[in-house]
Structure formats: C-alpha cells, structure tokens
Chain A
C-alpha cells in the first residue's frame, strides 16, 4: 500500500498520515457472531419460507394438514437460504449454510419424534393417573369395560418389580463377577468367555424367552410364573450387564492397579479397594441402564409369565402379570377401555423408566476431564487409605 509507481519512476515510500478529522474507527465485531447481513439471511430465509409454505399448502395446492406444511416449509426454507446466500457469497458458503439447515432440521425432527412419543403416551394416559386406585388396586373382579374408578395395575407393577428383583439377584453377581474375571484375572480362558459373552449380546430377547419357555416350562414342567419370567429376563440381561461392566472396568487406569500392587496389596484387595470403588459410578450406570432395559422388555415376559389379572406375590405361584405385558395385551385387545388402561400403564412404566434414568444420570459423574480427574483422585484416596491400613 505504501509504494506507488508513477510513470515507471523509482518506487517511493509514503508514510501514512494521521487524519485527526477521520471518524472514530468502528468497533470490530466479534468474529464468531453473525453480522447483520448473515442474521438477515438466516432469519429472513425462514420467515419467507413460512409465508411460502402457507401460500402453497393453504392456497395453491390441495395439501391440507400439518405434515405437508412442515415438509413444504423445510424445502422452501432450504431453497431460500441457498438463494439468499448465492446473492452475496460463494458456492462454499452456500454449501455451508444449506448443510447447517439440513443438519439442524434433522435434529429437530428427531427431537419432535421423541417429544411426540413421550407426550402422546402421557396425553392418553394421564386421566388414569388421576385415580389413586389405578396404582393401588388390581383388576381382580373388575369388569374390563369399567371406568378408571375401579381397578388398577398394582398387580402389574408388583409383578414387574418381583421379576426384576429375581433377574437382578442372578445377573448382578454373575455379570459383574464375569467382568472382573475378564479384566482382572485374564488369560486365555477369559478371552474365550469374553468372545462368547460378546456374541450372546446379539441374542434377540424373544429367543431368550423362547429358550426359557422350551426348557423351564415345557421340559422341566414349571408353570408359567414370575420365576420363569425372571429367568428369561436374566438370560437376556446377563450378557448385556457383563459386557457393559467389562467396558467400565477396562477404562480404570492401569497405573492405579500397579500402584496398589506395588504397595504390596494382594490382587483381591486391589480389586476390592481400588478397582471397584474407582469404577463404581460407571458400574452403577451400566446396571441401572440394564435394569431400565429389563423392566421395559416385553418379549421374554410374554412367553414365560402368563397373565393374571389379580395380585400375585409368590414368584412360583403361577401366572403373574407385568407392566409391559399388561400394556401389550391391552393394546391388542381392541377394547377402547382396555386400550385406555394400557396407556395409563404405559405412563406408569415411562415414569418408572424416567426415574431409573435420572438416578443413573445422577450417579454418573459429568463427562469430560473432570471425570477423569475425579476418578484418579478417588483412586488415589483409596490407595492412601489402603496403605495406611496395611501399615498399621
């Protein structure tokens, strides 16, 4: 800027002259924030798209209904964004804007689907939840067409909890024990176990139910009962929990183990005082998410538990209902009153799963570097406690 050529003369250097009358420099915009132009393109395109969509669906074409409006809105919004960007920007910017719109739109669609699922179940089921007897009574002697004043799903809730308890008693020690065996003991045999367990996570849940049905009920002669259902859920959950726990234990830093062993702790004490406490939040999350999966799974229960409409608390005492099974039977019955009850039960099931999920989130630490540091700190604290105990 400071050199000029005048008629081929030698280039001369000009110093910039400070101009006192010049207007004060404009404050620089922050680089990340969009300027007015960009804001107009972003917002204006979608405002225009709403107008076009309304015009097209309500005035020009016979495309009544909300879905068509949304589709036309999305297409015209992206077209408008592309057109407006071409007026000022290059092809690269057009691609960037269009991709941004499509990605945001896709995520919004998924969000809408999730919200519609949760909202739909609660909208159709909330009426049942207003009656306390819906969660306190069973359906014994209640006419299926009766209003919500009578009967409830207490037997299904109790059945679900009992079956889940049976499954947990079996899978928790076995699943976490196997994970410890695979990570802490190791060896060739552990590799075989890991391969088989990972393969069995592919077992469809209905096949787990069919296995228990064929073996326990048909061959060994057990009646369809809560125990059989619990066993079916166990067969389904065991590989899932073992594998999840294995993944959690494998991320425990090896240095912690080595430190503990170097301080003279035995392998068992290392596992009990260092590895398991360090991995506790992760293990809890894995177990709770496995429980959420088990409580909502219908197919193993469908084949093995039978469906009583009265309260059964003895797991060996014959047919026992559960929440998913109650919902499934209600939805298939075609009877409007039973369908409404099924939605009420679905709302109860959703609340159960939501509570489990929130507990799982609270138990797990926030992700990121803080997690790693907290993990380490926890492990180091354990180590120092261990050494002070073994030295005393």
Chain B
C-alpha cells in the first residue's frame, strides 16, 4: 500500500543546503600545502631561468652586440663572441640527427611491424636501456673505439665527394698517398657520431610509441585490400605517425644541442665559424662551458651564463615546437 507523506504544517521551513566548492578542513590543508610545494618548485625552476636571463644584460653591455655576432673567443684580450660556438653547436646537433633519424625510424618500424611478438617487449626494453646508458660511456665509446674509424670514413668522404663544400678539409691534400690522420680526428663529425647514439633511443622511443597506437582497424583494412607489409607502413603507419616522427626527431635535436660530456671529450676546441664538419676542431656551447668555467673572470662567467641562456632558448624553442607538433597530430592527442 502506498502512503503519501503527510505535510506537517508545524515543521520548520526547509532551505536547500548550500554547496560550496571551496575546500574545508583537511582538504583545505591538502590543497594549500600542495599549492605551496607547486609554488616553491615554480620559484626554483623559474628562478634558474630568470637568473640566466638577467645574466645576459651585463654581458651584452660588456661585449656589445658583437657577443652574438662575433666568432672570436679570446679571454686573454677580453674579446668574446659566440657566433662560432653556436654554429658548432648547431652543426654537431644537425649531423647527429642526420645519423640518428633514419636509424631511429628504421628501428621503430622494425619493432612495431617486423619483430616477432615474443621479442617485442625485449627490444623495447633494450631501446630504453640504450637511453639509460650514461653519456660519459658513449663518450668513451666515441673517443676510443669509433674515432679512428670515423676519421677513415671522413677521409673517404672527402676523397669521394670532394665537390661537396662541407666535406672540405683545409690543409690536406686528398690525393696524397699517405693521409694525415690528425686533420680528420676530433671533428664535429666525430662528436656527432657519439651524440647520435645518445639521441637515437629517445627519438626511437617516441616514434615506436606513436606507431604502436596505429588503429588496428585501419591496419587490417589495408591488409584486407591486399597491401603488403610495406604497403601498410606507407599507407597507414607513417601517415598516422607523422606527428610522432617529427616530434620525436625534434626532441632528440633538443637533447643533442645540450649534450656536453661526450662532445667535450671528443672535440678539440676551435673558435671560428666553420662548416667544414670533417675537419679537426670545433666547439659547442656546453663543451665551451665545461672547458672554460674554471679560469673565467666574473665578466667572462656571466658571458658563459649568457651563452648557456642562448643554448637554453634554442633548446626550449625546439622542444616547444616538438610538443606542439606531437599534440596537434592525430596520434599524439592523448599522450
């Protein structure tokens, strides 16, 4: 039997309870405590950036606009210019990406498309392990194991493709029967081989992750239409993963720009704007800091900090572009 509620006229009038989103009690403590943590991290990390930015002011005042355009770095006569250093940094990073990009792409494709399912997990772990190997180890590898071979390759490149302007090595005669090894070692090319090993797993991991998110429906549709494996790759996997390919490559480029120890170990410093990547001697911003910091006067130290800030800006632009490309692409929407 249904009974209707009886309205009691003597009861006090009910008002709807007020709903507030404002945290109260323990929640207020929680929210505010973590807000403090977030703020302190903001202060620490932002402080580093602002400190570096402030350091560029005295540097630009001391050395003028020549600090950005000049290529000479002579602390003895107090002439500092980072144009040559920047060119060296960019050439090492670009060469490293030139080596790492095709290998990363091929490895990512192999892991997602060709590797048997049983070993796939192992291969993914190996790529991650490659990323975890300290950069000093790659430096040792590049310096002691690869350098002689890379110098030989540089010699061969110079002889075979002597018409390419980048491959010119000044002060050598490519036709002489005995080659002068010392002109080919410690070059941007040698450093870029070691740097390529460092950025390869990073780029490869991003690409592999994006490739593995390819919608199975599209893949199967291509197979059902009679596509070969390569057909599936060109018509489904690569178009889907384009954002990941570009983004991963740029993330790798960002890391390559900032790499220090392997570069400092391999190159011999040379301060000039030069595009002869096979020739001995180059410099990058990070290795410049590693080599020069101990004997720098206060004004030179702020110049080094300013150089570091320029490098940071360069990396930041590259990383931001990478993040934007990955986020805008179809494949990166949820990563």
Contacts and interface: CB of A to CB of B under 8 A. Distances in A.
- The answer on A and B forming one complex is yes
A324 interface: yes
B31 A324 contact: no
A107 B140 contact: no
Contact of A205 (B107, B141, B260): B260
A215 B51 CA distance: 9
Contacts of A118: 133
B110 A210 contact: no
B106 A103 contact: yes
B34 A181 contact: yes
A324 B134 contact: yes
A267 interface: yes
Contact of A346 (B29, B111, B136): B136
B308 A204 contact: yes
B34 A107 contact: no
A165 interface: no
A295 B134 contact: yes
Given A103-B110, A268-B27, A327-B136, A207 B312 contact: yes
A178 B39 CA distance: 8
B126 A206 contact: no
Contact of B135 (A96, A185, A213, A296): A296
Contacts of A366: 121
Given A214-B301, A332-B265, A268 B135 contact: no
A167 interface: no
A299 B255 CA distance: 14
A210 B38 contact: no
B186 to A, nearest CB: 13
A10 interface: no
A110 interface: yes
B48 A174 contact: no
Contacts of A114: 126, 129-130
A239 B258 CA distance: 16
Nearest to A171: B41
A79 interface: no
Given A104-B110, A367-B121, A196 B46 contact: yes
22 contacts: A93-B228, A99-B230, A100-B114, A100-B229, A114-B129, A117-B138, A174-B37, A174-B40, A177-B34, A196-B42, A197-B42, A200-B45, A207-B308, A211-B48, A213-B293, A218-B301, A299-B286, A324-B134, A331-B136, A346-B140, A350-B137, A353-B134
CB-CB nearest 6 A-B residue pairs:
A296-B134, A106-B106, A204-B258, A107-B110, A181-B38, A177-B37
Interface of B: 23, 25-27, 29-31, 34-35, 37-42, 44-46, 48-49, 51-52, 55, 102-103, 105-107, 109-111, 113-115, 121, 124-126, 128-130, 132-141, 143-145, 149, 197, 200, 204, 228-231, 233, 254, 257-258, 260-261, 265, 285-286, 289-290, 293, 298, 301, 304-305, 308-309, 311-312, 315-316, 318-320, 323
Given A104-B114, A111-B126, A331-B136, 9 more contacts: A96-B228, A103-B114, A106-B103, A177-B38, A189-B39, A207-B305, A207-B309, A238-B44, A357-B132
